């Protein structure tokens, strides 16, 4: 496919032909796609998607690629990237309208600076606001879905709609967007007043905790937790950490090729420089088998696999 033949792509987009997806994912793994189109704002993303729909070209949207494992063989579809380091957030009293492309951690920082929200739990979570809403990202028992008032969505057919947060079916690390494939262009979050000093201290505490307990993905490529935490067996219980089952199943020292478990967290895989996406996939299979053998149930992947494994 010659992407340059798609003359109606908006001028604001930049196109990378044969883009290597390892350059756009925090695992830093994955082969090429025919073209990656970087979309700086919601209008550019919507126009690019509408152009691809009209031409019958298959595509998908990614954010920062922090929850993805892309096959070494790459993808046979166009990738639209909606992720920016220039946050687009407008505060109005206790509400903020934020672009889906804004980095989640930037949103947390800005909300605290404005004295609204308690979005400190989002501190240090990689990815975009759009990716976070689609997967109901969260930490420390809190999740973004709790504060989403409404979203502007781009449906897979290229049409745009406003949808209320209550209709997004938020569940643990999930929303209906995972099934429908609709894209969050912008979101309105409804927040509460917060004390700037208290929240700043809380943000620093969380950032320090992450620095000591999680890998820094820029130096140690990863995609956060590989498996979903495990459903409780009784309604009174909380979810149980997948990492605990993995440690009990003796997975802590597992490795395949250049893929290994992070020494401080058995539910995180780190890709060393020689790792392939296939190594990571094979390691996840080995981890699933170990827990199956020891406990008799199947761990479910949290990370999204893209392409052939
Ligand atoms: C070191 C590390 C720590 C992490 N810690 C946490 C944590 O504490 N809690 C947590 O929840 N997650 C955590 N994660 C996982 C990851 O940060 C989240 O899943 C994040 O929300 C993914 O956002 P993204 O923009 O990178 O999405 P991507 O990885 O690019 O995409 C993930 C999925 O979301 C879809 N998507 C992307 N953008 C949009 C959009 N605008 N609208 C609709 N769908 C979209 C994609 O199509 C894909 O299906 C961690 C990851 C790393 C690397």
Q: Are residues 222 and 262 in the same domain?
A: yes
Q: Are residues 235 and 171 in the same domain?
A: no
Which residue, 44, 59, 81, sits at the end of a domain?
81
Q: What is the CATH number of the domain that holds 302?
A: 3.90.78.10
Q: Is 302 among the catalytic positions?
A: yes
Q: Which domain holds residue 165?
A: 89-212
Q: How confident is the model at residue 9 (pLDDT cuts 50, 70, 90)?
A: confident
Q: Are residues 125 and 168 in the same domain?
A: yes
Which residue, 159, 184, 212, sits at the end of a domain?
212
| Ligand 1 pocket mutation pick from 219, 224, 241 by most atoms within 8 angstroms of CB | 224
* Digit-coded pLDDT (tens) for 167-200: 999 999 999 999 999 999 999 999 999 999 999 9
Nearest by Cα to 98 from 199, 194, 184: 184
Distance CA 157, CA 303 (A): 25
Atom 52 in ligand 1: which residue has the minimum CA distance? Answer: 224
Atom 27 in ligand 1: which residue has the minimum CA distance? Answer: 131
Percent of the chain at pLDDT > 90 equals 91
Q: Are residues 107 and 178 in the same domain?
A: yes
Q: Are residues 226 and 260 in the same domain?
A: yes
Atom 33 in ligand 1: which residue has the minimum CA distance? Answer: 131
Q: Are residues 66 and 145 in the same domain?
A: no
Q: Is 66 among the catalytic positions?
A: no
* Digit-coded pLDDT (tens) for 77-134: 999 999 999 999 999 999 999 999 999 999 999 999 999 977 999 999 999 999 999 9
Q: Are residues 113 and 34 in the same domain?
A: no
Q: Are residues 113 and 222 in the same domain?
A: no
Q: Is 173 among the catalytic positions?
A: yes
Distance CA 176, CA 169 (A): 5
For residue 5, pLDDT beyond 80: no
| Ligand 1 pocket mutation pick from 126, 163, 180, 304 by most atoms within 8 angstroms of CB | 126
Q: What is the pLDDT of residue 234?
A: 63
Which residue, 161, 189, 212, sits at the end of a domain?
212
Q: Are residues 222 and 284 in the same domain?
A: yes
Q: Are residues 52 and 73 in the same domain?
A: yes
Atom 41 in ligand 1: which residue has the minimum CA distance? Answer: 130
Q: Are residues 70 and 142 in the same domain?
A: no
34 Cα distance to chain centroid: 22
Least confident of 6-10, 67-71, 90-94, 164-168: 6-10
Q: Are residues 182 and 151 in the same domain?
A: yes
State the total domains in the chain. 3
Q: How many angstroms does the Cα of residue 127 sit away from the middle of ligand 1?
A: 5
| Ligand 1 pocket mutation pick from 41, 127, 156 by most atoms within 8 angstroms of CB | 127
Mean pLDDT, range 196-224, rounded to an integer: 96
Q: How confident is the model at residue 7 (pLDDT cuts 50, 70, 90)?
A: low
Q: What is the CATH number of the domain that holds 50?
A: 3.30.43.10
- 173, 202, 203, 260: which is the annotated catalytic residue? 173
Percent of the chain at pLDDT > 70 equals 96
């Amino acid at each position: 496919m010659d992407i340059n033949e798609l003359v109606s792509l908006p001028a604001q987009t930049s196109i990378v032909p044969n883009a290597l997806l390892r350059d756009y994912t925090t695992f830093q793994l994955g082969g090429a796609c025919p073209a990656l189109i970087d979309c700086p704002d919601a209008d550019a993303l919507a126009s690019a998607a509408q152009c691809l729909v009209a031409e019958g070209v298959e595509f998908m949207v990614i954010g920062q690629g922090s929850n993805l494992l892309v096959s070494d063989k790459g993808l046979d579809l166009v990738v639209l990237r909606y992720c920016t380091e220039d946050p687009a957030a407008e505060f109005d009293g206790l509400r903020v309208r934020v672009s889906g492309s804004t980095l989640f951690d930037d949103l947390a920082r800005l909300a605290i600076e404005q004295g609204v929200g308690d979005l400190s739990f989002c501190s240090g979570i990689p990815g975009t606001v759009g990716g976070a809403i689609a997967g109901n990202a969260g930490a420390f028992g809190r999740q973004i879905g709790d504060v989403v008032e409404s979203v502007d969505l781009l449906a897979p057919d290229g049409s745009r709609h406003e949808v209320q947060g209550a209709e997004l079916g938020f569940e643990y690390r999930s929303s209906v967007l995972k099934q429908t494939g609709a894209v969050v262009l912008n979101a309105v979050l409804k927040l509460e007043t917060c004390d700037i000093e208290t929240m700043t201290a809380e943000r620093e505490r969380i950032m320090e905790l992450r620095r000591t307990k999680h890998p820094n993905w820029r130096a140690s490529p990863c995609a956060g937790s590989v498996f979903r935490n495990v459903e409780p067996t009784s309604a009174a219980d909380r979810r149980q950490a997948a990492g605990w089952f993995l440690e009990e199943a003796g997975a802590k020292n597992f490795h395949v090729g250049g893929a290994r478990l992070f020494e401080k967290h058995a539910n995180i895989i780190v890709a060393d420089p020689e790792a392939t996406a296939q190594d990571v996939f094979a390691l996840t299979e080995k981890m699933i088998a170990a827990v199956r053998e020891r406990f008799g149930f199947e761990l479910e992947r949290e990370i999204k696999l893209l392409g052939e494994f």
